């Protein structure tokens, strides 16, 4: 079997010269230190994206967008299609875990300062990928066309409408009209399965290429070690095997969640029905939603909601440009200013999310 495999590889090698790949696999090394565990977060996120891609394609075989068919087709998938329930629930759970691990990955990169030169563009592409991931979540949430999703989309697109000048047209563009209707559903479907995957893939390819090109980031405390004390493991197969081990564990957790905590479908959306209780966005939008809710109606001459939207817009943009922000090193400070800002941001997100679910 091994010989047969070698034969195939040498057959290809003879024709297409696999030495660059072989060199990369043979020589790529991953630093081994007490913070190595964070190296695996990006891999898990990538794995979950692959799960999303595969389950999404399978769902596409039965899903029918449209006011009269979307909800019915999802119900058909979870009730009649063989293993449809598993695919749909894995897709929903994986989407949530994907966002979670993307956040963990981002903050681990931030706190280990892995975004610094020469990895600025890896950070920027990573942030753009995160934004597209959230857009995937927002557009996918509406697709089952159930009550909660319908009203959450209404609220979500209303918030977009608050932005000055471009807000109004952007809201109409997103909704495909004045209100959330079947036109919005078709639009979100197109965005979710065609537009986003296309753009996402481009940024993902660049993100991965940058990492392969530059190798794993070494934290300062590792870099400052004498050469003989620095430990490395080979990317292939050692790191890859550990990655695989984690992926298998995550996959097992994923099907456990899909089986024991199936994603509720709820009632079909009715445009003229009154809004049901407990409308809330997906958990990863909760901190922003809650902040907007807590803001007063007017702050100085600005509407509270507008101020909130502008704040998150500017904050997101600044966050994307973190690698280019130079903050003076303060030797007397136990925690450096940027790290402190990061801690405060994480605390803000966590507290606001909890408050959002409690209130």
Residue numbers at the binding site for another protein (CB under 8 A): 78-79, 86, 233, 237-238, 241-242, 244-245, 248-249, 251-252, 255-256, 259, 262
Rounded to a whole number of angstroms, the CA Rg of the chain reads 23
Q: Nearer to another protein by C-beta: 14 or 227? A: 227
As measured in angstroms, the least distance from the Cβ of 245 to another protein is 5
Q: Nearer to another protein by C-beta: 212 or 252? A: 252
As measured in angstroms, the least distance from the Cβ of 232 to another protein is 10
As measured in angstroms, the least distance from the Cβ of 248 to another protein is 5
Strands 232-234 and 29-31: antiparallel
As measured in angstroms, the least distance from the Cβ of 145 to another protein is 17
Q: Contact 130/251 with Cβ under 8 angstroms?
A: no
Q: Helix H segments across the chain?
A: 2-16, 19-27, 39-60, 70-79, 84-111, 120-142, 147-160, 167-175, 182-190, 196-214, 220-223, 240-260, 283-294, 304-320, 337-358
Q: Contact 3/204 with Cβ under 8 angstroms?
A: no
Q: DSSP letter at 31?
A: E
As measured in angstroms, the least distance from the Cβ of 58 to another protein is 17
In which element (H, E) is residue 232 found?
strand 232-234
Q: Nearer to another protein by C-beta: 256 or 317? A: 256
């Amino acid at each position: 079997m091994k010989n047969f495999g070698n034969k195939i590889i040498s057959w290809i090698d003879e024709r297409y010269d696999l030495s660059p790949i072989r060199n990369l696999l043979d020589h790529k090394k991953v630093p081994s230190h007490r913070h190595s565990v964070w190296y695996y977060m990006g891999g898990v996120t990538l794995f979950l994206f692959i799960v999303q891609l595969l389950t999404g394609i399978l769902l596409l075989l039965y899903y029918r967008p449209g006011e009269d068919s979307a909800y019915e087709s999802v119900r058909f998938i979870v009730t009649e299609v063989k293993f449809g329930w598993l695919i749909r629930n894995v897709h929903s759970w994986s989407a949530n875990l994907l966002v979670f691990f993307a956040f963990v990955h981002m903050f681990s990169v931030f706190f280990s300062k892995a975004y610094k030169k020469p990895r600025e563009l890896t950070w920027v592409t990573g942030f753009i990928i995160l934004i597209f991931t959230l857009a995937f979540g927002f557009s996918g949430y509406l697709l089952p066309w159930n009550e909660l999703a319908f009203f959450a989309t209404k609220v979500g697109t209303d918030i977009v409408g608050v932005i000055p000048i471009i807000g109004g047209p952007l809201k109409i563009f997103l909704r495909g009209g004045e209100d959330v209707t079947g036109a919005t559903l078709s639009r979100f479907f197109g965005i979710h399965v065609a537009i986003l995957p296309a753009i996402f893939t481009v940024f993902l390819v660049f993100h991965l290429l940058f990492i392969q090109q530059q190798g794993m980031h070494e934290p300062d405390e590792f870099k400052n070690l004498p050469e003989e004390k620095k430990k490395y493991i080979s990317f292939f197969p050692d790191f890859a095997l550990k990655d695989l081990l984690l992926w298998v564990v995550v996959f097992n957790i994923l099907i456990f969640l899909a089986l024991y905590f199936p994603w509720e479908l709820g009632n079909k959306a009715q445009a003229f029905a009154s809004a049901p209780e407990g409308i809330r966005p997906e958990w990863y939008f909760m901190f922003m939603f809650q902040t907007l809710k807590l803001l007063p109606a007017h702050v100085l001459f600005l509407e509270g909601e507008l101020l909130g939207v502008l704040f998150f817009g500017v904050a997101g943009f600044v966050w994307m440009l973190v690698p280019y922000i130079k903050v003076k090193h303060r030797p007397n400070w136990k925690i450096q200013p940027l790290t402190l800002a990061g801690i405060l941001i994480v605390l803000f997100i966590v507290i606001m999310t909890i408050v959002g679910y409690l209130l």
